[in-house]
Amino acid sequence: MKLVVNGTAHELVVEEDMPLLWVLRDVLGLTGTKYGCGVGQCGACTVHVGGEAVRSCVMPATAVEAPVTTIEGLSSDRSHPVQRMWLALQVPQCGYCQSGVIMAAAALLRSTPKPTDADVEAALGNICRCGTYARIREAMRALARA
């Protein structure tokens, strides 16, 4: 199969049902995308497929038809507006969930540049065990104003 990740095309031979998450992490070595539950409940594994936020642990790599962007490909220098705002407001704590949250946030802002709180809550159902929600909310409000 062919998989385009962060602008690079890869020719891969993997099982038909192997989730994109593990292809990214264990085959391509892109460890920025995280494993939290493996069953679509937490959002730690969120990446973009064709610009849409997708939970990569429940998406077979062979079913991916559009280019994939991971946290490593969001920007080369942490310059994506979400990354910048995340640093400005010091959002992460342990940071483990944040790749997924940032990717979900970036996808939302692309489709809905001025999201309401309700839009944000609907799109960012990610679990953050450290409880960074107050700052995620603030950061998204600031981005929606920008």
Binding site for another protein (CB under 8 A): 15, 18-19, 21-22, 25-27, 29-39, 41-42, 44, 70-72, 74-75, 78, 83, 86-87, 90-99, 102, 120-122, 124-137
> Which CB, 40 or 113, lies closer to ligand FES?
40
Q: Minimal CA–CA distance to 8: which of 26, 29, 36, 33?
A: 29
Report the residue from 28, 30, 42, 68 that binds ligand FES according to the rule CB under 6 A. 42
Q: How far is CA 21 from CA 31, 61, 115, in A?
A: 9, 8, 27
Does position 97 interact with ligand FES (CB under 6 A)? The reply is: yes
Report the residue from 28, 30, 45, 54 that binds ligand FES according to the rule CB under 6 A. 45
> Which CB, 1 or 133, lies closer to another protein?
133
Does position 49 interact with ligand FES (CB under 6 A)? The reply is: no
CB of 56 to ligand FES, least distance (A): 7
CB of 39 to another protein, least distance (A): 6
Number of residues that bind ligand FES (CB under 6 A): 23
Does position 99 interact with ligand FES (CB under 6 A)? The reply is: no
Q: Are 92 and 40 in contact (CB under 8 A)?
A: no
d(CA 42, CA 8): 27
Count CA within 13 A, CB hemisphere, residue 90.
0
Report the residue from 128, 139, 140, 143 that binds ligand FES according to the rule CB under 6 A. 128
Secondary structure (DSSP) of 9-66 = EEE----TT-BHHHIIIIIS--TTS--S-SSSSS-TTEEEETTEEEEGGGSBGGG--S
